[in-house]
Every structure is written in structure tokens, then in C-alpha cells.
């Protein structure tokens, strides 16, 4: 009996292996098409991990990475004892949290409104206008925002003065407590149209019979959006939301670098900009690498934690 069971297992294993290779042959062109992207990921995402060794060394460019002075966790200890790091972490979490909320609520609302438009020409026109800012460089966007908020002929100040809301121009770019909101609103204006594309695609996949049945039951547009459209894109929303949580501490530095100035530096400096200033500009390569490792580890933990909570609540998982 034991011998028969072994033979059956061997046969099943062989048949599975045969089916695997048959599938590989049938889809060989798809695998070949994906190879350049796999190679790109390996070269630019996995090979650089070798450089993490620098975080445990006093790295000097004149020596190879294996011929450096090993210092263990020295740079991590310096990182967590630096008061500036916690100020930068505050700015990063504040701006990333505000951006996370706005970058999901506004595009979803925008996609819902677009989805309700029945005049196709008008709908495409609105979509095109909304998408265009995404393709504009942050250098240009920062110039537009700075000019709009300028005290010398800035449109916002002129508008507020014309309505007699204020008597004198406000120096928006010199108020640190307003900097987070300025960055968040600027990013929302630039990316709302682009971020709504995925939600619009998810809405187009909802069964139209559901809408027809709700119409028969007397449901209006808002009830259809609340009870059909939003539940229909819930999975897409949660997948994107969980993945975005992983970037809470890795939000880049372009917006903050271009919109910031010495007056608001205590509100504008984020972790990536901190790594640039301390790691590259001051030639503290090991310290900069330690900051990068901190970012990566925290990002991975946040993604798995968010997925764990989502799985506990909904019994679903994206990982």
C-alpha cells in the first residue's frame, strides 16, 4: 500500500512538472517580453542592496567596499540620537499622512463625478485637462505656486485683497506652519487627474446590471454611488492604499526642496532631503546609507502591518 502511494505521488509530481513546462512553452513570448523588466528590477533594485554594507562601515570612496573600517551600529546610534532626525521625521510623517488622505479621497470623488457624466465629449475634455498637470515638472509647478502666492502681484493675495478679506499681502511662503498644507494642495492639483485613472478603470468593470436593477428599485445617483460604485472599487482602493502606506517615510524630496526656503526649513526638511544634506553634501556616505536602510525597513513593516490589519478586519489579503 505504501509503495502504491509513493508511485501515485511520483506520477502526480511528474504530471505537474509536465504541465508546468507545457505552460511555459505556450506562454514563452509573454515570459520573453517580461524579461527586460525583470532584469531592470534586478539591476536597479536588488544589486544596490550590496551597498547597504556601507552603513556598518566608515566608508571612504578610495577603498573598495570590503576594505573599509567596520563600525557596527555606530551610524544607526548617531541617527537615533540626533535631535534633527526627529524634527525631520515629524515633517515627513505629517506631510505624507496629509498627502495620503488627500491623494485618495480627492481622486475617488473626482472619479465618481466623472463616471456620472453621460456627455462623452465633455467627459474626455475634463479628463484631459485634469491629466495634464501630471506631466508638468515639479520645477515648473513650484514656480507657478510661488508666483501665485507671491506678495508682489500674486493672484491669491490680489484676490483676497479685492474681496477685502485682508488689507496687506500675506507672505505664504514664509510661514512654516502653512508649508505642509501648501505642499499637499499643490500635489493634489498636480496628481488628482492621474490618480483617478485606476479608479475610473475599476468603475468601468462594475456589472451594469446592478445599476439597472437599482434604477428599477428607485435608487438615485447618490445611492448608486454609495451602494454600488464605492463597494465595487473597494478592493482596488485598499490595494493601492496599503501599498501607499509603505511610502509614508519615503515621500521623496523634490516638492519640499523646490518649494522650501531657509525661513521654513524646520517644516520643509524631510528624511530624503535630510539624507541628501547629511549623506551626500557632507560626504557622510555611511550615515546616508543608514538613513536609507531605516526608510526601507520601516516601509516594509508598514506594508505588512497594514495588510495584517486589513486581513483581520475583512478576511482578505493582498500579500
Summarised one tens digit per residue, pLDDT across range 16-31 is: 667 878 888 888 888 8
DSSP 227-285: IIIHHHTHHHHHHHHHHHHTTSS---SHHHHHH--GGGHHHH--HHHHHIIIIIIT--H
Residue among 284, 221, 267, 252 at smallest CA distance from 94: 267
What local confidence, expressed as pLDDT, does residue 85 receive?
A: 92
Which pTM does this prediction carry?
Answer: 0.81
Record: fold of 81-314: MetI-like fold (1.10.3720)
Domain with CATH 1.10.3720.10 in the chain: 81-314
Three-point CA angle 81, 85, 86, nearest 5°: 90
pLDDT band at 2 (very low <50, low <70, confident <90, very high): very low
What is the C-alpha separation between 153 and 250, in angstroms, rounded? 35
What is the C-alpha separation between 235 and 241, in angstroms, rounded? 10
SS3 24: helix
Range with the largest mean pLDDT of 185-189, 216-220, 304-308 = 185-189
Residues whose CB falls within 8 Å of the CB of residue 218, separated by 6 or more in sequence, listed in order: none
What local confidence, expressed as pLDDT, does residue 244 receive?
A: 86
Cell numbers of 194, please? 492621474
C-beta atoms surrounding 193 within 10 Å? 21
Residues whose CB falls within 8 Å of the CB of residue 278, separated by 6 or more in sequence, listed in order: 284, 287, 288, 291
pLDDT band at 139 (very low <50, low <70, confident <90, very high): very high
The answer to whether 287 and 198 have CB atoms below 8 angstroms apart is: no
DSSP tag of 67: S
What is the C-alpha separation between 139 and 149, in angstroms, rounded? 16
Mean pLDDT, the chain, rounded, equals 85
What is the C-alpha separation between 51 and 68, in angstroms, rounded? 12
pLDDT in tens, 160-182: 998 888 888 889 998 888 999 99
Residue among 96, 139, 124, 145 at smallest CA distance from 193: 124
Report the DSSP beta bridge partners of residue 70. 57
Q: How far is CA 296 from the centre of its chain?
A: 14
Cell numbers of 234, please? 473597494
Amino acid at each position: 500500500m505504501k509503495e502504491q502511494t509513493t508511485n501515485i505521488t511520483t506520477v502526480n509530481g511528474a504530471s505537474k512538472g509536465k504541465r508546468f513546462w507545457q505552460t511555459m512553452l505556450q506562454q514563452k513570448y509573454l515570459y520573453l517580453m517580461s524579461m527586460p523588466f525583470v532584469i531592470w528590477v534586478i539591476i536597479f533594485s536588488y544589486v544596490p542592496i550590496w551597498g547597504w554594507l556601507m552603513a556598518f562601515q566608515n566608508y571612504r570612496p578610495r577603498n573598495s567596499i570590503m576594505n573599509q573600517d567596520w563600525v557596527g551600529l555606530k551610524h544607526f546610534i548617531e541617527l537615533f540620537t540626533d535631535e534633527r532626525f526627529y524634527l525631520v521625521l515629524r515633517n515627513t510623517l505629517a506631510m505624507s499622512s496629509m498627502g495620503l488622505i488627500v491623494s485618495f479621497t480627492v481622486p475617488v470623488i473626482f472619479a465618481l463625478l466623472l463616471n456620472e457624466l453621460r456627455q462623452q465629449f465633455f467627459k474626455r475634455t475634463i479628463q484631459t485637462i485634469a491629466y495634464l498637470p501630471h506631466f508638468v515638472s515639479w520645477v515648473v509647478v513650484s514656480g507657478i505656486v510661488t508666483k501665485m502666492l507671491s506678495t508682489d502681484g500674486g493672484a491669491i493675495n490680489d484676490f483676497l485683497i479685492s474681496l477685502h478679506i485682508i488689507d496687506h499681502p500675506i507672505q505664504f511662503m514664509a510661514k512654516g506652519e502653512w508649508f505642509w498644507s501648501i505642499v499637499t494642495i499643490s500635489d493634489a492639483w498636480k496628481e488628482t487627474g492621474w490618480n483617478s485613472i485606476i479608479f475610473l478603470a475599476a468603475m468601468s468593470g462594475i456589472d451594469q446590471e446592478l445599476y439597472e436593477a437599482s434604477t428599477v428599485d428607485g435608487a438615485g445617483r447618490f445611492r448608486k454611488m454609495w451602494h454600488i460604485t464605492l463597494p465595487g472599487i473597494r478592493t482596488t482602493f485598499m490595494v493601492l492604499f496599503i501599498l501607499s502606506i509603505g511610502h509614508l517615510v519615503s515621500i521623496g524630496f523634490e516638492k519640499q526642496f523646490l518649494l522650501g526656503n531657509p525661513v521654513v526649513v524646520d517644516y520643509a526638511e524631510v528624511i530624503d532631503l535630510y539624507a541628501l544634506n547629511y549623506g551626500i553634501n557632507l560626504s557622510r556616505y555611511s550615515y546616508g546609507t543608514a538613513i536609507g536602510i531605516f526608510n526601507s525597513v520601516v516601509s516594509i513593516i508598514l506594508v505588512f502591518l497594514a495588510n495584517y490589519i486589513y486581513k483581520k478586519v475583512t478576511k482578505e489579503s493582498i500579500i
